[in-house]
Amino acid sequence: MIITVEEIVYIYIGVCISMLIFNVFIIFFRKSQYKRFKTRTRDISKLIDVQLEHIARKQPIKRTIQIKLDKMLTAPNKLMAFHEAIEAALEQDAVVVQQYLLLSRPLFGSLAVKYMQKDDIRKAYFAYLMSRYKVCKDIEQDEIINSMLQLIDTKSAYCRENALKALYSFGNEKNVLSAIMLINKNEIFHHEKLLSDGLLSFEGDKARLGALLWEHFNEFNNDIQVSIVKFLHADSDQFKEELYSLLIRQETNKEVKVAIIRYFGKYVYEPMYHFLHTTLTEASDDWEIIAISATVIRAYPTPASIEALKIAMHHSNWYIRFNAAETLNALRKNYNELASIYNGTDRFARDMLLYQDQRTRIKAQAQQQEAVRV
Amino acid sequence: MMDSIKVLFEYVAIFFICYMLVYSTFLFLSVTVGTSVLYKQLQRRQMKNELQHDYYIPISIIVPAYNEDVTVVDTVISLLNSKYQLFEIIVVDDGSKDNTSQALIDYFELNPIERPIRKLIPCMPEEACYLGYRDNIQITLIRKKNGGKADSLNMGINASQFPYFICMDADSMLQDDALEKIIQPVLENRDVIACGGLINIANGVTIKNGKVIKYKLPNNILIIMQALEYNRSFLASRIFWDQFNGNLIISGAFGLFRKDMVINVGGYDHDTLGEDMELVVKLHSFCRSHQIPYSIKYEPDAICWSQVPETMSDLIKQRRRWHLGLSQSLWKHRNLIVNPKSGIVGLTSYSYFLFYELLSPFIELFGLLTIMLAFSVNIINVQFMIIFYLIYAGFGAILSLTAFFARIHTQNLKLDLFDVLKVISLCLLENAGLRLVIAFVRMTSFFRYKKKKNHWGEITRQKMNIDL
């Protein structure tokens, strides 16, 4: 079949007209969508208000309304309107609304099954709402929790993240462990930063979560191990012994070691004196370990530490010199104590020390000015 | 003789029909895909599909500046308004002849400091360094010998502390959520080594605390036409290429890069005018040839407001620079088109940029010459030609409008009726007029190659509408 030039022109005209129609359609569709959203929100608010009144009067909520909502909220647009209505109600009386949400767990359980059949954007939205509403607080087994765990194994990072947030907000450590086990088993990439920050938002007993994660620590890949150590770093000084024994093990991954050394920057542990001094003074190829040790040693301010830092100041690696100089300044060592560097022949060490000294002063001055401004 | 001319014209016609068909299809696909991605992104935002955390990955923001005393302070202020918590700002003054450095020193109360800078990639030596803090954010100013924009960016990379850096222009402003949006692809995929943000035209826009409070199209028709062009040619096509990791450009006005990868490829190239494109093409080439898994992303939710030329002479200067940069980048990495390892990048992206960007002015000139020849021997259907041209220009104009309004809707910007009328009335002129002017500029850009080498694209800056 041969297409003539005229036919091509007609095709062009057709495409132009379709695009024009598309543009006009989108403009009007979005305007009407907004109006409909406002109407829906009002309608749903009325239903919610009835239930809130029942709760305020200590009466059971109306089953018919819940059944109606179950049917309505299957549509994502209506679920969004429900969300808008709940957010507005939360501003009025958070306690009663939270009670209503907890009583609506069967409704959300039924919706969870339906939303798991939808696309990733909608699944993630449902998970987000669960993280906001915390309807499974302190519950171990439930349809909603199963759905959240199901979402961990999806391609979408948003589904996974929102499902994790929901599990953190429910506050059950066993479910969080199950989620992380799934990530580990299926070799799913979930950024270490998201994981460690997320664990910190856990709303249950963090000590119990820490203990449970530690129990399974060796089963996890290095990325997850780093996240767990960061979580422990922020929250618990109960793992000094365990982490130290992991640190001195040769086969431990370098990133994990770095995270552990940071942990000991916050929680001082006697055997770390020796570890840090040895790391800073003995030759090694692991510059990352030496660099972080040069920072962490400020939590162990002894004359021996200062001497170790002075040695590190002559290291060929830029980051090690940078951190060592920063620590020496943080420890506020005076000119006499550091004279060997200031008057020495190593220009790199001297320049770095001078820079960190000036930097500390400028920062302190800026903080003072900021305080005055405030 | 006449017969052979007719045969020649038949071949020319076949060539142009194929050429235009491919281009129109690309344009149509890019606008359709771009528009649908923008609406999908809007739906994502509305349905809370976001990776929101208080503490993200730390970022170094590098702002190269040359004679930018009018705008540089506003740019730094816009950065300080960011919601992002972990970043440092490094302004590199490339030996400005105006008061760029002094404006920063005075406004941010910067102090001189003897700073050792590790030169991992080559750049001109520093003359002075200054340091200050605002809201605990470190602001570094490095004044160095003039060496061009690429050289300044390399200096910034050398001085940066963090594993990711952002390059941005000194006449640009970031929206308050731009940093947290541009880092999201990195959180989603470990292979992301670079990510470009969306460049919107700042002329006429008022920004307060990193948020747009007034969006008004200026009366200058050149700016409105550029706004249409930006949405059709840059926004839509970059979203399209992004679908298969084929973007060859991350605008120098706003892009995020993984520092170790950029250092591995030797940083920005001093000898190329389009250092931003050259770096991205080099990253593709490097990763492909070393079989490193990588992804170069485009994030239209990460928004940067940047000034565009307000006069034709400034626009000509800018486009000349861009076209020379394009030709240098493509020539330097020509191995991409012949190397089987290049995959989709070589096959589609490189070929597109070669035939539809670099060579298009020459092909268009060839088209014009054949029309003139056909006219002289009276074998042209003038009526058909005019209709065809008008339909083609109309096609482009409608696609421009589609992309423009899609952006306006999805970014929740409001246009008044007068602005809508301005856009509709100018879209045809942009397609039938400005495009031809730019094609001519691109064609003649090579004549001034030597003179332009290593220079900053100097355009007249205006004070930005930033409400403090």
Which of A16, A200, A230, A321 has the most B C-beta neighbours within 10 Å, making it the best mutation to test the interface with B? A16
Q: Rounded to the nearest 5 degrees, what angle is found at the Cα of A292, between the Cα atoms of A287 and A296?
A: 150
Residues in chain B: 468
Looking at the fold, whether A265 and A275 belong to one and the same domain comes out as: no
Residue A36 lies in a domain: no
Contact between B51 and A189 using a beta-carbon 8 Å cutoff = no
pLDDT exceeds cutoff 70 at B457: no
Instruction: Decide if A183 is inside a domain.
Output: no
* Residue A7 scores a pLDDT above 90: no
Res A328: pLDDT: 94
**pLDDT tens, position by position, B9-24:** 889 988 988 898 898 8
Contact: B49, A13; criterion CB under 8 Å:
no
Domain limits for position A124: 72-91+112-170
Pairing of strands B254-258, B211-215: unpaired
- For A24, nearest residue in chain B (alpha carbons): B402
Residue B359 phi, psi dihedral angles, 5° rounding: -90, -10
Domain B22-355+454-467 classification at class level: alpha beta
In a domain, A33, yes or no: no
In a domain, A63, yes or no: no
Closest listed residue to residue A247, CA positions, set A326, A199, A234, A233 = A233
Q: What is the pLDDT of residues B216-241, one digit of tens each?
A: 999 899 999 999 999 888 889 999 99
Domain total for chain A? 3
- Residue A64 in domain: no
Give the mean pLDDT of chain B.
89
> Quick check: B466 and B176 in contact, CB under 8 A?
no
Residues A336, A285 within the same domain: yes
Cβ(B226)–Cβ(B308) under 8 Å? yes
H helix intervals, B160-272: 178-182, 184-188, 221-229, 237-242, 259-264
Average pLDDT rounded to a whole number, residues A160-183? 97
Domain assignment of residue A184, yes or no: no
**Whether residues A228 and A239 fall in one domain:** yes
Mean per-residue pLDDT, B133-155: 95
- Among B216-230, B261-275, B284-298, B364-378, the range scoring the smallest mean pLDDT is B364-378
Q: Which of A308-322, B198-212, B340-354 has the highest mean pLDDT?
A: A308-322
Clarify whether residues A193 and A251 are in a common domain: yes
Whole-model pTM? 0.91
The verdict on a CB contact (< 8 Å) between A359 and B188 is no
- Closest CB to A5 among B17, B51, B409: B17
Structural domain contains residue A8 = no
Same structural domain, A238 and A152: no
**Chain B residues in contact with A27 (beta carbon < 8 A):** 405, 409
Hey, what amino acid is at A327?
Answer: T
Three-state SS annotation for B144-157 = ECCCCHHHHHHHHH
Lowest-pLDDT range of A320-334, A345-359, B239-253, B335-349: B335-349
Q: What is the pLDDT of residue B433?
A: 87
The predicted model gives A196-214 an average pLDDT of: 95
- Assess whether pLDDT exceeds 50 at residue B38: yes
Residues A277 and A359 in one domain: yes
Contacts of B24 in chain A (CB under 8 A): 12
Q: Which residue has the higher pLDDT, B466 or B53?
A: B53
Give the pLDDT band (50/70/90) at residue B351.
Answer: very high
Check whether B54 has a pLDDT greater than 60: yes
pLDDT tens-place string over residues A60-106: 999 999 999 999 999 999 999 999 999 999 999 999 999 999 999 99
Six token digits for residue A296: 């962490």
pLDDT recorded at residue B468:
46
Q: Are residues A276 and A265 in the same domain?
A: no
Helix, strand, coil percentages (3-state) for chain B, rounded to 5, are 55, 15, 30
> Using one digit for the tens of pLDDT, what is the confidence trace for A128-153?
999 999 999 878 889 999 999 999 99
* Separation between Cα atoms, residue A220 and residue A266, nearest integer Å: 24
Structure confidence at residue B461 as a pLDDT band (50, 70, 90) = low
Same domain, A234 and A219: yes
Confidence of residue B466 (pLDDT cuts 50, 70, 90): low
Report ipTM for this prediction.
0.89
Q: What are the domain boundaries of chain B? A: 22-355+454-467
**CA nearest to B53, candidates B161, B166, B187, B173:** B187
Q: Determine the average pLDDT of the residues in B269-279.
A: 91
Is residue A277 located within the same domain as residue A210?
Answer: no
How far apart, in whole angstroms, are the C-alpha atoms of residue B46 and residue B327?
41
pLDDT band at B409 (very low <50, low <70, confident <90, very high): confident
Reply yes or no on whether the pLDDT at B343 is more than 60.
Answer: yes
Q: Are residues A263 and A292 in the same domain?
A: no
CB contact under 8 A, A80 and B47: yes
Contacting residues of A for B31, CB less than 8 Å apart: 19
Q: Evaluate whether residue A13 is within a structural domain.
A: no
| B189 with A161: Cβ contact below 8 A | no
